[in-house]
Each structure stands twice: as C-alpha cells, then as structure tokens.
Amino acid sequence: MQKKQKKKITNNNPIGIFDSGFGGLTVMSEIHKVLPYENLIYFGDTAHVPYGSKSQNVVAKFSKEIASFLIRQKVKLIVIACNTATAFTLPILQKKFKIPIVGVIKPGAKIAILTSKNKKIGVIGTEGTINSNSYIKEIKKLAQIKVYQQACPLFVPIVEEGLINCDFANAIVQKYIRPLLNKKIDTLVLGCTHYPLLKKIIKRNIKKNITIIDSAQAISQEVKNILIQKNLLANNNESNLKFYVSDNPIKFKKIGCRFLGKKIINIKKIDLE
C-alpha cells in the first residue's frame, strides 16, 4: 500500500493562536495589525477559563490538547496568547511538537529590559503567572534588574464583565498598583492578556514617567521575525480569520469583539478529546 504523503507546511498555512478564552484576542488583534496578510486560527478554551487560578498540570493538559488540534489544522506556528499557559507550558509544548511555538512572556520581558532606565520593573498578572516567577526568570537571564510582582486576580472578571469604567475598578487598580509604585518602578509589564483593556485606567493611576509594556504588542514583532527567518511569511493579499471555542460561541462572539476590536464571524464550537 502506498504511504500517505504528509502535506508540506507552506507560506499561506495559518498561524495558530490560543488562549484560555477571550484574552488572547488582544494578541490576535496585534498580530493581525503587524501581519495583515496572515491567515489566523484562534482557539479560546472557554469551557475551562480561567487558567489563572488553576494548577500547572491542568493547564498543561488543556494546552497540549489545543496545540494538537491546531496542528491538525496545519498551522505553521503556534502562539500561546495567554500568559498563564505560557508560564506553565511553553517548554512542555516546544518539546512535544515540532513546529515553532512561542509564548508571550519572553518578548514582553525583553522589551521591559530595554525600556527600564532605573532598573526597577513591575509585573502584574494572574496568580498562576506571578507564582511561577516566569517574568523574573526571563528578565534575570538577560539583565541585573529588580523585578517587583503583583497578582491581580480581580482584573480578569472586571474586564470580562465590561466594568472597566466603574469607580470600584479604579479603586481595585489603585490597590494592586500602589505597592509597585512604592518600589519606584519606571516600567510596568501587563503580564496578562486582559490587562490591555485596563490600560487607560492604569495610566490614570501611575506616574507619567512609568512606561507600560503590553506583551501583545511585543509578541507580534517576535512572530514576524520568526516567519521572516524561516521564510514562512504569507504571500496572500488578504487574510482569513477563523475562531474555535470549547463552549458557548454566542457569548464569545458578544464579548470577544471588545478584545479583538472588530466583529467575530466564522466561529465554531468543538469538543477536544
């Protein structure tokens, strides 16, 4: 019997992007801005969100299943568009799968290092990301810099409920950010995919000399560089965006457009094994 030939990955194969739910759409939006001709497939694990308060084993199990699904869709590269999943699973997925896999932490850490003048960086994220110390580890690999961290577990529900303009959102931002301001940081890393939606309110509560680093923007450039390096940039003159979720596509459509900055069409619910 003739052996089934594996289809080669070509330039116009899609980029796979995944997150625990909606948050990674901020990453997808930035990738789409920087690489407008790339076909993109997004997977939001809405059946299991949030990842930020779960243990590493559980997040690793979901992440492996999602990466396998994306590989079956013939993606040419995978972006882990979730800080918690990056912190818990990047090396595990890189070891298990052959295609390039990138996460949001290293690119954000690199830009923070280049930005900080006084060598004091603040990082905010979910409990999982902060407890993993992943940002500290990445930053310390490259520079002698003091890193101060703060978990902000209430930020994700505030963003998802669309409460970013309420007085209590302002009070919670102040509570979480104050300890970092006391450390005189000059750079603040938004180490969670939901936090770009709180940028305005965070800016209002920090001094003007503090630069905010958005890991969604940092990763887009990294993805572009890898595709150039591997000669895998798309040669389309338009792009196709597809969305998959593990639960409730209607809610995803409704809330997701706030994160993506445009309407979500072409969405399917699927069950992973």
Give the interface with ligand DGL as residue ranges (CB under 6 A): 19-21, 23, 49-52, 82-84, 126, 129, 156, 192-194
Q: How far is CA 242 from CA 40, 61, 142, in A?
A: 6, 23, 36
Known catalytic residue at 192: yes
Known catalytic residue at 257: no
Other CB atoms within a 10 A radius of the CB of residue 269 amount to 15
Nearer Cβ to ligand DGL, position 78 or 234? 78
Of all residues in this chain, which one has the CB nearest to ligand DGL in the complex?
52
**Helix or strand holding residue 155 (H, E):** helix 155-160
Nearer Cβ to ligand DGL, position 51 or 69? 51
CB of 257 to ligand DGL, least distance (A): 17
Nearer Cβ to ligand DGL, position 113 or 156? 156
CB of 107 within 8 A of CB of 239? Answer: no
Sorted by sequence, the CB contacts under 8 Å of residue 23 that are 6+ apart come out as 81, 82, 156, 192, 193, 194, 259
Query: Which position among 82, 152, 166, 257 bears the catalytic label?
Result: 82
Query: Which position among 152, 166, 192, 257 bears the catalytic label?
Result: 192
Q: What is the 3-state secondary structure (H, E, C) of 192-234?
A: CCCHHHHHHHHHHCCCCCCEEEEHHHHHHHHHHHHHHHCCCCC
DSSP letter for 72, please: H
Nearer Cβ to ligand DGL, position 188 or 234? 188
CB of 271 within 8 A of CB of 74? Answer: no
CB of 203 to ligand DGL, least distance (A): 20
Nearer Cβ to ligand DGL, position 81 or 234? 81
Instruction: Say whether 34 sits in a helix, a strand or coil.
Output: helix
268: left (phi over 0), alpha (psi -120 to 50) or beta: beta
> How far is 42 from 58, CA to CA, in rounded Å?
20
Sorted by sequence, the CB contacts under 8 Å of residue 242 that are 6+ apart come out as 14, 39, 40, 41, 42, 266, 267, 268
Nearer Cβ to ligand DGL, position 13 or 86? 86
Beta strands across the sheet bearing 211-214? 146-151, 120-125, 187-191, 211-214
CB of 260 to ligand DGL, least distance (A): 14
CB of 74 to ligand DGL, least distance (A): 25
CB of 127 to ligand DGL, least distance (A): 9
CB of 62 to ligand DGL, least distance (A): 10
Residues classed as catalytic? 82, 192
